[in-house]
Amino acid sequence: MSGYVSFVLNRIAILTVLVAAMSTASLRASDHAEDADHHADHKVATSAPVSTNEHASSAHEAASDNAVSDKAAGPEEVWNQLMVGNARFVAGKPKQREYIHTRRELAKGQHPHTIVITCADSRVSPELVFDANLGELFVLRTAGNIADPIVLGSIEYAVEHCHSTAIVVLGHTKCGAVTAAASGGKMPSPNLEAIVNKIGPALAGIESRDNMDEFVRKGVETNVHWVVRDMLKNSDIIRSHFDEQKIGVFRAVYQLETGEVVQLK
Ligand SMILES: [Zn+2]
């Protein structure tokens, strides 16, 4: 290759890198503008769960939307970010996202900040509910959001290899699996029986069973607590990460009608 051709090719390569860098910078700038818009909306939606640290949430939200960000966030920061995303979902104003670049970057590896254990119910889609991007959530879904050994093994993988910092156990109102367990009837197959048998103990302590709606409402909550208990009791890996405060555990119930994620204490 002649010296001149080599010189021209080098110039083209440098220009290409510069153009790519500029377009990334402008994308990030527009993300920040969008964050400001959504933040304004979030303040209006007073019925939605509200972050306690708006500045931290906004900054983290921007960082997180850049799926390749190396910035490590603590559990509370991650939770606040999820709540801000949920407020956008509740308000019907999800972020506009550019998936092609994100998809390519994520092909190199995943670092989901949050593990979500939730129900297989088609109305409870975590990426939509938290208005999260590709690569942000590591999701396990079973009817009744139960934590059997396969679910626990999957969580252990994410905790150890993806270095996620938050686990969210998300039940939902009017859960069919909890309703089936609450009804106490015989299931038509051993597989279905396995689901209600897993949920059954979570309902044992509920006293008022006359009102089925109320029984199921309480059952959804006690089942979330039971799943957290199962998780920490039956997985040494999850428990040690939790004890060492490397990972935070959050309990919540998704409200089918409003779209809100309500945290349980
Ligand atoms: Zn369900």
Residues 250 and 169 sit within 8 Å (Cβ to Cβ): yes
Q: Is the pLDDT of residue 213 over 60?
A: yes
Give the distance (Å) from ligand 1 centre to CA of residue 126: 13
Does the structure show a pLDDT above 70 at 46? no
Q: How far is the CA of 252 from the centre of ligand 1 (A)?
A: 13
- As a whole number, the mean pLDDT across the chain is 81
Phi–psi pair at 191, nearest 5 degrees = -70, -45
CA 123 / ligand 1 centre spacing (Å): 9
pLDDT tens, residue by residue, 88-131: 999 999 999 999 999 999 999 999 999 999 999 999 999 999 99
Mean pLDDT, to the nearest integer, of 148-156?
97
Sequence spans of domains, the chain: 3-264
CATH superfamily of 3-264: Carbonic anhydrase (3.40.1050.10)
Contact 161, 120 (CB under 8 A): no
Ligand 1 centroid to Cα of residue 146, in Å, is: 10
Query: DSSP per residue over 178-239, as a string?
Result: HHHHHHTPPPSSHHHHHHHHHHHHHHTT----SSHHHHHHHHHHHHHHHHHHHHHHH-HHHH
- pLDDT tier, 182 (very low <50, low <70, confident <90, very high otherwise): very high
Alpha-carbon gap, residue 121 to 104, rounded angstroms: 30
Average pLDDT of the segment spanning 225-236: 97
Task: Name the CA dihedral angle for 72, 75, 80, 85, rounded to a multiple of 10 degrees.
Answer: 70
Tell me the sheet residues that pair with 168: 116, 250
**Which of these, 217, 47, 41, lies nearest to 131 by C-alpha position?**
41
For position 59, what pLDDT does the model report?
35
pLDDT of residue 209: 83
Question: What does pTM read for this prediction?
Answer: 0.74
Residue 167 to residue 124: CA distance in whole angstroms: 16
Taking the centre of ligand 1 as the mean of its atom positions, its distance from the CA of residue 120, in whole angstroms, is 6
What digits encode the pLDDT tens for the residues 50-82? 333 333 333 334 334 533 344 568 999 999 999
Expressed in angstroms and rounded, the spacing between residue 144 Cα and the centre of ligand 1 is 5
**Higher-pLDDT residue of 37, 196:** 196
Measured from the Cβ of residue 152, the count of other Cβ atoms closer than 10 Å reads 18
Kindly state the percentage of the chain with pLDDT values over 90. Answer: 69
CA of 44 relative to ligand 1 center, distance in Å: 30
pLDDT of amino acid 34: 39
Q: How far is the CA of 220 from the centre of ligand 1 (A)?
A: 9
CA of 50 to the centre of ligand 1 (A): 25
Residue 227 has pLDDT above 50, yes or no: yes
13 or 179, which is more confident: 179
Mean pLDDT of the region 205-214: 89
Report the separation in Å between the CA atom of 52 and the middle of ligand 1, taken as the mean of its atom positions: 29
Residue 210 banded pLDDT, cuts 50, 70, 90: confident
Residue 184: φ, ψ to 5°: 75, 5
How many angstroms is it from 121 CA to the middle of ligand 1?
5
pLDDT at residue 58, as a whole number: 39
Three-state DSSP state, 92: coil
Question: What whole-number distance in Å separates Cα of residue 257 and Cα of residue 238?
Answer: 32
Averaged pLDDT, 166-188: 96
**C-alpha 192 to ligand 1 mean position (Å):** 13
Q: How far is the CA of 262 from the centre of ligand 1 (A)?
A: 16
Task: Kindly give the distance from the C-alpha atom of residue 167 to the centroid of ligand 1, in angstroms, as a whole number.
Answer: 18
CA distances from 234 to 109, 146, 223 (A): 28, 13, 16
* Ligand 1 geometric centre to CA of 173 (Å): 8
What is the structure's pLDDT at 208? 74
